[in-house]
A and B are shown apart, each in its own frame.
Chain A
Amino acid sequence: MSSTLTFPDVFVNASDALNRDSINTTSPWLLAFRERQLQQLKQCSLPTRKTEDWRYSFRHLKMSDAIAKPLPILSLESSTASSLDDSLVDLGGDLVVFVNGHFAESKSRLPSDASYTIKRFSELSEEEALQVSEGSSSDTSSFPFAAINGACLADGIYISIPKNTKLEKPIQLHFHAEGEGTTTPRVFLIAEQGAEATLVEEFTGATQTELLTASVTDIQLNAQSELRYIRLNTEAEQLSHIGLTQVNQNRDSRFKSFCMGLGGPVRRHDLKIKLLEPGAECSLDGVCITLGQQHYDNHTEIEHISAHCQSDESYRCIAGGNSHIVFNGRIMIHRDAQKTLGAMSNKNLLLTSNAEIDSKPELEIYADDVKCAHGTTIGQLDEEELYYLVTRGISPDHAATILTLGFVNELVQKIPNESIKERTEARLENLIKSAFQED
Chain B
Amino acid sequence: MSESDKSVDELIKSEYKHGFVTDIESDTFEPGLNEDVIRRISARKNEPEWMLEWRLKAYDAWKEMAEPQWAHVKFPQIDFDAISYYSAPKSQENAPKSLDEVDPELLRTYEKLGIPLHERARLAGVAVDVVFDSVSVATTFKDQLAKAGVIFCPISEAIQEHPELVKKYLGKVVAQKDNYYSALNSAVFSDGSFVYIPKGVRCPLELSTYFRINEANTGQFERTLIIADEGSHVSYLEGCTAPMRDENQLHAAVVELVLLDDSEIKYSTVQNWYPGDENGNGGIYNFVTKRANCIGKNSKVSWTQVETGSAITWKYPSCILKGDNSVGEFYSVALTNNFQQADTGTKMIHIGKNTKSTIISKGISAGKSDASYRGLVKFGPNADNARNYTQCDSLLIGDKCGAHTFPYIESKNKTGVIEHEATTSKVSDDQLFLCQQRGMDAERAVSMIVNGFCKEVFKELPMEFAVEATKLLEVSLEGSVG
Chain A interface (Cβ < 8 Å from any Cβ of B): 52, 56, 335, 338, 348, 350-380
Shortest B448–chain A CB gap in Å is: 19
Is the beta-carbon distance between B399 and A369 smaller than 8 angstroms? yes
The answer for the CA separation of A110 and B47 in the assembled complex, in Å, is 84
The answer for the CA separation of A372 and B404 in the assembled complex, in Å, is 11
- The answer to whether B70 has its CB under 8 Å from any CB of chain A is yes
- The answer to whether B405 has its CB under 8 Å from any CB of chain A is yes
The answer for the CA separation of A359 and B394 in the assembled complex, in Å, is 20
Is the beta-carbon distance between A365 and B403 smaller than 8 angstroms? yes
Is the beta-carbon distance between A371 and B408 smaller than 8 angstroms? no
Question: Chain A: which residue is nearest B393 at the CB level?
Answer: A373
| Segment with Cβ contacts to A, from B161-169, B322-330, B411-419 | B411-419
- The answer to whether B381 has its CB under 8 Å from any CB of chain A is yes
The answer for the CA separation of A407 and B394 in the assembled complex, in Å, is 30
With a cutoff of 8 Å between Cβ atoms, the chain A residues found around residue B40 in the complex are none
Choice from B379, B405, B412 contacting A362 with Cβ under 8 Å: B405
With a cutoff of 8 Å between Cβ atoms, the chain A residues found around residue B426 in the complex are 368-370
The answer for the CA separation of A416 and B338 in the assembled complex, in Å, is 48
Is the beta-carbon distance between B417 and A365 smaller than 8 angstroms? no
Shortest B222–chain A CB gap in Å is: 30
A372 and B424 in contact, given A353-B414, A365-B394 (Cβ under 8 angstroms) = yes
Is the beta-carbon distance between A364 and B402 smaller than 8 angstroms? yes
With a cutoff of 8 Å between Cβ atoms, the chain B residues found around residue A380 in the complex are 414-417
- The answer to whether B398 has its CB under 8 Å from any CB of chain A is yes
- The answer to whether B473 has its CB under 8 Å from any CB of chain A is no
The answer for the CA separation of A348 and B419 in the assembled complex, in Å, is 10
A375 and B410 in contact, given A362-B405, A368-B396 (Cβ under 8 angstroms) = no
Choice from A52, A335, A355, A376 contacting B409 with Cβ under 8 Å: A376
Is the beta-carbon distance between B409 and A368 smaller than 8 angstroms? no
Choice from B414, B418, B428 contacting A355 with Cβ under 8 Å: B414
The answer for the CA separation of A361 and B374 in the assembled complex, in Å, is 11
Choice from B384, B417, B420, B425 contacting A361 with Cβ under 8 Å: B420
- The answer to whether B442 has its CB under 8 Å from any CB of chain A is no
Question: Chain A: which residue is nearest B8 at the CB level?
Answer: A368
Question: Chain A: which residue is nearest B397 at the CB level?
Answer: A368
Is the beta-carbon distance between B415 and A362 smaller than 8 angstroms? no
Is the beta-carbon distance between B399 and A367 smaller than 8 angstroms? yes
Shortest B105–chain A CB gap in Å is: 45
Question: Chain B: which residue is nearest A352 at the CB level?
Answer: B414
Is the beta-carbon distance between A371 and B425 smaller than 8 angstroms? yes
Is the beta-carbon distance between A353 and B415 smaller than 8 angstroms? yes
A377 and B398 in contact, given A358-B409, A360-B409, A362-B406 (Cβ under 8 angstroms) = no
With a cutoff of 8 Å between Cβ atoms, the chain A residues found around residue B394 in the complex are 363, 365
Question: Chain B: which residue is nearest A347 at the CB level?
Answer: B419
> Chain B 359-398, CB within 8 Å of chain A: the 1/0 string?
0000000000000000000010100100000000010111
Is the beta-carbon distance between A379 and B405 smaller than 8 angstroms? no
Choice from B396, B407, B412 contacting A365 with Cβ under 8 Å: B396
With a cutoff of 8 Å between Cβ atoms, the chain B residues found around residue A335 in the complex are 399-400
Shortest A279–chain B CB gap in Å is: 20
Choice from A338, A351, A356, A362 contacting B399 with Cβ under 8 Å: A338
User: Which one of B404, B406, B412, B421 has the greatest number of beta carbons of chain A within 10 Å?
Assistant: B412
- The answer to whether B401 has its CB under 8 Å from any CB of chain A is yes
With a cutoff of 8 Å between Cβ atoms, the chain B residues found around residue A362 in the complex are 404-407
Choice from B400, B411, B419, B424 contacting A363 with Cβ under 8 Å: B424
Shortest A142–chain B CB gap in Å is: 15
- The answer to whether B34 has its CB under 8 Å from any CB of chain A is no
The answer for the CA separation of A56 and B409 in the assembled complex, in Å, is 11
Is the beta-carbon distance between B424 and A377 smaller than 8 angstroms? no
With a cutoff of 8 Å between Cβ atoms, the chain B residues found around residue A52 in the complex are 70
A376 and B412 in contact, given A360-B406, A369-B399 (Cβ under 8 angstroms) = no
- A selection of 11 A-B contacts at a CB cut-off of 8 Å is A335-B399, A354-B381, A355-B412, A361-B420, A363-B405, A364-B405, A368-B426, A370-B396, A378-B411, A378-B416, A380-B417
Is the beta-carbon distance between B405 and A377 smaller than 8 angstroms? no
- The answer to whether B423 has its CB under 8 Å from any CB of chain A is yes
- The answer to whether B422 has its CB under 8 Å from any CB of chain A is yes
User: Which one of A351, A364, A378 has the greatest number of beta carbons of chain B within 10 Å?
Assistant: A378
Shortest A346–chain B CB gap in Å is: 9
The 9 lowest CB-CB distance pairs between A and B, nearest first, are A368-B396, A350-B414, A376-B420, A379-B417, A363-B405, A359-B409, A378-B418, A372-B424, A368-B399
